[in-house]
Amino acid sequence: MTRLKRETRETQITLQVDRAGGETEIHVDTGDAFLDHMLVTLARYAGLGLQVDARGDLRHHLIEDVAITLGLALAMEVPERAQRYGWALVPMDEALVEAAVDVGGRPYYVGELPSDLYRHFLESMALNMRATLHVEVRRGRDRHHVVEAAVKAVGLALRQALREGEGVFSTKGAVALQVDAAQQVDADEKEASC
């Protein structure tokens, strides 16, 4: 289980995510009904326990900063022996959306959605999770259906990728990374100045 608190002049976020999911409660309160709906959907389809309490000055800042915080928390939940890859194709009425993810530490995002905010949400989450995420909208007219199908597909792909596997799924083996505390402080100060 990972708990994070992220505060700026624009947003205040407290988030807890649990890869074990199972009986873990899902509770989301951001003050934005559609964001709440998408976070609950993502958690349910990914099999995650999730608790989010967040507020922000602007909708864009709220959605972006929740995605950043969620991505950082999910990065800490990736098991060393993760299945690593996940894929899903989700129909929702006229919408059909595909998602493929690699949680192996290579941050990249490709995909367009009919909502710039939710494209940015998925991109911010993926990059901060250090995951590669591809989202392809195959068809769809209703913006709500397309975005929700994308979130469901990403959730199902994450469910597969975050499963504990039998070994390290890489030709490189496990990657060991040591961060010097002084460098971490410098990195935090640089992020804060952005």
With contact defined as beta carbons under 8 Å apart, do 53 and 14 qualify? Answer: yes
Query: Domain residues of the chain, as ranges?
Result: 2-181
DSSP 46-58: HT-EEEEEEEESS
Residue 110 main-chain phi, psi, to 5 deg: -135, 130
Q: What is the mean pLDDT of residues 98-114?
A: 97
pLDDT at 182: 65
Q: Write the pLDDT tens digit of every residue in 127-146.
A: 999 999 999 999 999 999 99
pLDDT at position 178 over 90: no
Q: Write the pLDDT tens digit of every residue in 14-63.
A: 999 999 866 568 999 999 999 999 999 999 999 999 999 999 999 999 99
Q: Which helix (H) or strand (E) holds 149?
A: helix 143-161
Superfamily of domain 2-181: Imidazole glycerol phosphate dehydratase; domain 1 (3.30.230.40)
